[in-house]
Amino acid sequence: MQNLGLKVAVDDDYQSFPNSKNGEKNIVNLVKDGANFEDDDRRPLNHFYDPAHPDRSGARGRPLTAGVELGRKSPDWALEQPAEIAEQEFSLKDAGDYLYRALTLPSLQERKQYFGRTFETLGHIIHHLQDMAQPQHVRNDAHCDQLVCAFGPRSDA
């Protein structure tokens, strides 16, 4: 941490960075925000991965399905692999980009912004690791209590 110009204490409120909703948080709370924000809007549709059943292309593993695929496979969404996903800005790929910017941009304000994005994005990724260890997320059991789950995917998904 010190080699990155950061304090070792990740819960130090004197070392805070902005989250994606413009709140100033310490590192621990940025990670918590990311984990919480991952359940916003339509993002939960991309939290499922059933490794025992193939997807519509025949590839191993499927996303949440209800006659049709309602989202992307959780690992594909969290890693943003095998291809870039336009509506995904909190993937492992993005975290690497944010960290690079946090370490190389000339402006202190921009570096702080990207450190905040880096730590928040780690929370988003951790959320997926937690979900993939939860039975409903690997057995294709829809359990979402948000209205978005009732309406299914966006037309451009």
* pLDDT tens track for 52-72: 888 889 988 999 888 888 899
In sequence order, the β-bridge partners of residue 48 are 73
* pLDDT given at position 12: 83
- Summary mean pLDDT of the chain: 88
Mean pLDDT of 140-155: 56
- Can you list the alpha helix ranges (DSSP code H) found in the chain? 27-37, 74-79, 92-104, 108-131, 135-138, 147-151
Comparison of pLDDT for 9 and 53, the residue scoring more:
53
SS3 48: strand
User: What is the pLDDT at residue 150?
Assistant: 55
pLDDT band at 86 (very low <50, low <70, confident <90, very high): very high
CB-side neighbour CA atoms (13 Å) of 28: 8
Determine if residue 61 is left, alpha or beta; phi over 0 gives left, psi from -120 to 50 gives alpha, anything else beta. left
